[in-house]
A and B are shown apart, each in its own frame.
Chain A
């Protein structure tokens, strides 16, 4: 698959390099006077916090505040429910993003991993009176173990073959889950009772019983999962994954235990996906194996590539595309078949023009547009010095 290669091969060779070298030279000179003070800082913080970082922190805070306080007020219940699903599927996309974007492992089995998390959480919620967060953690942990087993073939395979194997394993999981059924409050290990007429709903956390409150709960959990992944990406495992993605021989030569770090990536991706499954169980009240068709995994990979597997923002965009778009289409009376076509066009678009996805392309295009506009206004009103 050329997608991963396109990702880091997409660096502009000509102008970008020249500009980069000049930047580096400027920055190198600027660094020297401050290096003494910085030497006492943490090992990997080279320069002090850049203004860019503050922009990022502000953007994240604004998005989070908007999601928590504005969305439930502005939107109708229909869209609040859709946004709950957006939060949940952002986590799923986040997990797949770790595999595809960070390590270069293509998984077509994530919908099945999500189903495992949902099944585990549903079972625990019926069978125990454990607090909801504990159930989420347990669902994450159990899914982590099972998902890592799914990832074992990745130690030997990559690219298309890995994608195929994960698809087959996902198929097997789906078959098993449709045989044993999702728990509905029955007895026994499986917790399924086919004779029940009045099926009790899967319980929600006591402080988030209503749909709006559960939406906020999901956003908070999603934010925590994003933090967990960000922490990984910015530290030792993230650096090791970057090395593995670019070149496995180079990673080995740097002393990186590639087996361990690949499994670590599967473990992290499966953990967050399992937690998302737990949230899904709470949001749905009733779960059926039919809710997790295999093709969801394929759509998921396509959407993650369209949205941008290489940035964490891409996961949010993927969540919006996966869950808000269908809700909008349904509300507008547009056939949902158009969504599949739209995603197909999106994949084509991304593969040909923006290998790093929408999350990378849109800000760049906006900046370019801004430059164009400011250039146009400057030309319209020539400055006194006469520069054109």
Chain B
């Protein structure tokens, strides 16, 4: 459960997030909006890369903003990046194990948990292969495997399907759907692929110009007139 209240981020004169109030309970939740709506800024606030000028974020009863960014991973915050960031010169295994070894979790079960995560995302590549030698799909899966290893509580996926062909997006969506059940984590998915969002997200919130304009069951939200207007543009929204 994550509760965001009055979250505001200003970069100079630009207001990226403008008093956002959000509440996601469980499962996979969507966060959509046109380009520049503030979705990635929202993720960066949760990750600790951006300090908000106002507002608070409470996740599972804890004040997320009070934690140093690297401690949030230890606490159970995991994320992927818009441009995939698996570490090229390390092996698949090392990439995933790295998250585990900095999580203060017992190292005795590390090997098993890491291999489990790799097979959970359906990655067929040799765990000892360097990530630099993998293709785009496999690298993406390595990143997702990093989010499920250990004890994740809050998983942020930033456009995980961007640039993937349809059949691979399908595989990814089935993996994402299983994350809450498999790990107990709350997943927040940002993506422009509405097919993927409506397929995996029970609840979806919509941001537009840093403001939350809709929140509810995904099918309803996608039919909402304000949402359609935000995407297609109207005379009033300018």
The answer to whether A236 touches B70, judged by C-beta atoms less than 8 angstroms apart, is no
B98 at the interface (CB under 8 A from A): yes
What 0/1 pattern do residues 62 to 103 of B give for CB contact below 8 A with A? 000000011111100011010001111111011001110111
**List of A residues within 8 angstroms of B234 by Cβ:** none
Q: Does the CB pair B48–A246 fall under 8 Å?
A: no
Number of interface residues of B (CB under 8 A): 45
- Alpha-carbon gap, A251 to B110, bound state (A): 19
A19 to chain B, nearest CB (A): 8
* A21 contacts chain B at the CB level, 8 A cutoff: yes
Q: How far is the CB of B235 from chain A (nearest CB, A)?
A: 39
- Asked if A24 and B87 make an inter-chain contact with CB atoms under 8 angstroms apart, the answer reads no
Which residues of chain A (29-79) have a CB below 8 Å from chain B?
30-31, 35, 39, 43-44, 46-47
Are A254 and B90 in contact, CB atoms less than 8 angstroms apart? Answer: no
- The docked-state distance in angstroms from the alpha carbon of A20 to that of B125 is 10
Q: Does A253 contact B (CB under 8 A)?
A: yes
Q: In the complex, are the beta carbons of A24 and B129 less than 8 A apart?
A: yes
Please determine whether B88 and A23 come into contact, CB atoms closer than 8 angstroms.
no
Q: A256 contacts which chain B residues (CB < 8 A)?
A: 70, 73, 98, 102
Q: Does the CB pair A253–B126 fall under 8 Å? A: no
Tell me how far the C-beta of B50 lies from the nearest C-beta in chain A, rounded to whole angstroms.
Answer: 11
Alpha-carbon distance between A300 and B78 when the two chains are bound, in angstroms: 40
Inter-chain CA distance A28–B119, complex, in Å, is 12
| Contact with A24, one of B74, B107, B125 (Cβ below 8 angstroms) | B125
Cβ of A16 under 8 Å from chain B:
yes
Q: Does B182 touch A at the CB level, under 8 Å? A: no
Q: Is the CB of A43 within 8 A of B88?
A: no
B126-A257 in contact (CB<8A): no
How far in angstroms is the closest Cβ of chain A from B216?
A: 29
Decide: A240 and B129 in contact? CB cutoff 8 A: no
A239-B110 CB under 8 A given contacts A21-B134, A27-B128, A249-B85: no
Q: Which residues of B have CB within 8 Å of A17?
A: 133-135
B130 contacts across to A, CB distance below 8 A: 20
Q: Bound complex: CA of A44 vs CA of B88, how far in Å?
A: 17
- Chain B residues with Cβ below 8 Å from A327 are none
Chain A residues closer than 8 Å to B115, beta-carbon distance:
35
Interface residues of A in 233-265 (CB under 8 A from B): 236, 239-240, 242-243, 246-247, 249-258
Q: Which of A20, A44, A236, A242 contacts B129 (CB 8 A)?
A: A20
- A285 at interface (Cβ–Cβ under 8 A)? no
Question: Does A364 reach chain B (CB closer than 8 Å)?
Answer: no
In the complex, which of the residues B73, B89, B135 contacts A242, with contact meaning CB atoms closer than 8 Å? B89
10 A-B pairs with the lowest CB-CB distances in the bound complex, closest first? A20-B133, A255-B73, A255-B102, A27-B126, A250-B85, A46-B128, A24-B129, A24-B125, A28-B126, A252-B69
Q: Which residues of B are in contact with A by a Cβ distance under 8 Å? A: 47-49, 69-74, 78-79, 81, 85-91, 93-94, 97-99, 101-103, 107, 110-112, 115, 124-130, 132-135, 138, 146
Give me 10 other A-B pairs in contact (C-beta within 8 A), A23-B126, A252-B69, A253-B78 excluded: A16-B133, A21-B135, A43-B110, A44-B97, A236-B101, A240-B102, A242-B87, A249-B85, A252-B47, A257-B102
Binding site for B on A (CB under 8 A): 8, 11, 16-17, 19-21, 23-25, 27-28, 30-31, 35, 39, 43-44, 46-47, 236, 239-240, 242-243, 246-247, 249-258
